[in-house]
Structure 1
Amino acid sequence: MSSAQIAAIVASPDRSAADRTNDLRRKPAQMLAFIGVRPGMVALDLSAARGYTTELIARAVGPTGRVYGQNAPRDPARAQPMAREGVSGPVMPMTSTAPLTLAERAQNPATRNIIPIARPFEDPVPPEVASNGLDLVTLMFNYHDFGHMGVDRARVNRAVFAALKPGGLYVIADHAGRPGTGISESGTLHRIEEAFLRREVEAAGFRLLAEGDFLRNPADPRDRNTPEPPQPKDEFVLKFVKP
């Protein structure tokens, strides 16, 4: 997509005020350009939460494409607040200014190509596209959560690999941890070591294609969940390809 087409997507007048606020941190134009989304793609947004990224991809793939927004099934025995994509902590009750839900986004005429799905993380892909049926999979700022949640990350990555067509893309963004910490600080600092994540994904058969630096902050000491002094978190974006 051209930069003008991406700018038009980000500027769409029917995008929510909450999403526009989130844009300041998430840099959606740079993200869409880095991913390389194209009209007609079939995509899966893993751990989609409320669907901020899902909606952007849906607008980019257009009416000839579609995007599945995956979240894990809710445990009815537990009262769990809706997780915000890439944000730690509970979400406040819905208000008129609260972010849209994934289901609400799927009702917008401009993004009716969103298909919300509830599936386990270890088996996240619906059967109709589970074997060479996807062009793109995204996972935004939640890979680290798989550590403290006890998710089998190797199974997740193998399922994504099987679902992608040859040449398909797997794009992961997350909060950077310090060298040597692996995924050990996933439940405390909500961070993951970039090299550790890369090794896990490559073990499933993926090849690293590109690294995005538009969310990096070298000044972040990476020793707290919220950096001190206050500043943006150091965040990495990695694009893998299925050979």
Structure 2
Amino acid sequence: MKRLILAAMLATGLAGAAQADDALKAAIAGEHRSAANKARDVYRHPYETLSFFGIKPNMTVVELSPGGGWYTEILAPYLRDKGKLIVAGGAMVPENRGAMALKQKFDGAPAVYGKAVPAVFAPPSTYQIAPPNSADMVLTFRNLHNWVGNGDEAFKNTLKEIHKVLKPGGVLGVEEHRLPASMQQDAKASSGYMHEAWVIKTVEGAGFKLAGKSEVNANPKDTADHEKGVWTLPPVLANKDKDREKYLAIGESDRMTLKFVKQ
């Protein structure tokens, strides 16, 4: 009898995992996503990245500094029915163009984004993210270099504020442009690139433990020594037509993908 019960539990667990997997694939393939954003999947590997972080459709997930909402397009429909997505960025005021662009996206597709919850995350001054110990997962994609620009103490404080909102054992998923260990990182990470070892040490110093590293977003063609930093590469192409084909051939940046858990 015990074997039958265990077998049934295993089968139920496998079926649930398969359904979650299908739901993630469906969100990535969704017609609501723009063709331009889908074209970047080859560089950003959303399925592999989110699977590595261990996301589940019944989680409460915070996305920090979503920018134009590239990942929000995937997270919102995936978490809509069983989970909760908190989108934490700048205040929705006309002066904040990124936040207003995201609001336009939300207003234009309520069926996709209608259940997402907006929150204010504006380091180093405002952290109205979520109640303490309420989130299963916090995700941030290519944002750490911006927070470091506020200064070392402000960056550490930002990490502590993130730590507060996670449940014990909750996951912090980080993707960031990676600077080779042989190259110097300035205090404000002005190139957009950061040392992986420094990121790990600093995040762990804020009460997290590294749970895993993935090379899914690695790009060995990226030397990280470009004239205008990471923004030289696509999608920004800061040099415009100068050496355009060269940078298109490199592709998007080499990135670390790190999974931390709250201690």
Q: TM-score, normalised by structure 2?
A: 0.75
Query: CA 1:13–1:141 in structure 2 vs 1: closer, same or farther (change >3 Å)?
Result: same
Q: Which of 234, 237, 241 is residue 254 of structure 2 equivalent to?
A: 234
Q: Deviations over 1:123-168 (max 9, x none)?
A: 4343xx3310111101100101122344811111111111100111
Shift of 1:24: 3.0
Q: Which residue of 1 aligns with 2:98?
A: 82
Q: Which residue of 1 aligns with 2:29?
A: 11
Following superposition, which runs of at least 4 residues in structure 1 exceed 4 angstroms of deviation? none
Q: Which of 198, 219, 222 is residue 217 of structure 1 equivalent to?
A: 219
Which shifted more, 212-221 or 155-164? 212-221
Shift of 1:104: 2.1
Identity of aligned residues (%): 25
Query: CA 1:74–1:101 in structure 2 vs 1: closer, same or farther (change >3 Å)?
Result: closer
RMSD: 2.7
Whether 1:72 and 2:90 are equivalent positions in the alignment is yes
Structure 1 alignment gaps of length 5 or more? 84-93, 95-99
Q: Deviations over 1:26-81 (max 9, x none)?
A: 111112211221122111111111222123222222323221112233787xx665
Structure with the bigger percentage of helix? 2
Q: Which of 54, 70, 73 is residue 36 of structure 1 equivalent to?
A: 54
Structure 2 alignment gaps of length 5 or more? 1-16, 234-242
Residue pairs, 1:116-155, within 5 angstroms: 116-122=118-124, 123-126=126-129, 129-150=130-151, 152-155=154-157
Q: Which of 104, 110, 113 is residue 111 of structure 1 equivalent to?
A: 113
Separation in structure 2 between the aligned mates of residue 14 and residue 219 of structure 1, nearest angstrom? 32
Q: 1:133 corresponds to which letter in structure 2?
A: S
Q: Which residue of 2 aligns with 1:159?
A: 161
Q: 1:142 corresponds to which letter in structure 2?
A: N
Query: CA 1:18–1:115 in structure 2 vs 1: closer, same or farther (change >3 Å)?
Result: farther
Q: Which of 182, 186, 191 is residue 189 of structure 2 equivalent to?
A: 186
Q: Which of 8, 24, 29 is residue 42 of structure 2 equivalent to?
A: 24
Q: 2:184 corresponds to which letter in structure 1?
A: T
Q: 1:132 corresponds to which letter in structure 2?
A: N
Which shifted more, 107-116 or 172-181? 107-116
In our comparison, the structure showing a higher alpha carbon Rg is: 2
Separation in structure 2 between the aligned mates of residue 22 and residue 198 of structure 1, nearest angstrom? 27
Q: Which residue of 1 aligns with 2:63?
A: 45
Q: Which of 149, 168, 184 is residue 170 of structure 2 equivalent to?
A: 168
Shift of 1:183: 4.9
Contact 2:92–2:103 under 8 Å retained in 1: no
Q: Which residue of 1 aligns with 2:79?
A: 61
Q: 1:206 corresponds to which letter in structure 2?
A: F
Q: How many residues align?
A: 223
Separation in structure 2 between the aligned mates of residue 134 and residue 103 of structure 1, nearest angstrom? 26
Query: CA 1:46–1:183 in structure 2 vs 1: closer, same or farther (change >3 Å)?
Result: farther
Separation in structure 1 between the aligned mates of residue 188 and residue 223 of structure 2, nearest angstrom? 14
Contact 2:145–2:193 under 8 Å retained in 1: yes
Q: Deviations over 1:155-198 (max 9, x none)?
A: 111111111001110001011112263454622x2111111111
Contact 1:211–1:239 under 8 Å retained in 2: yes
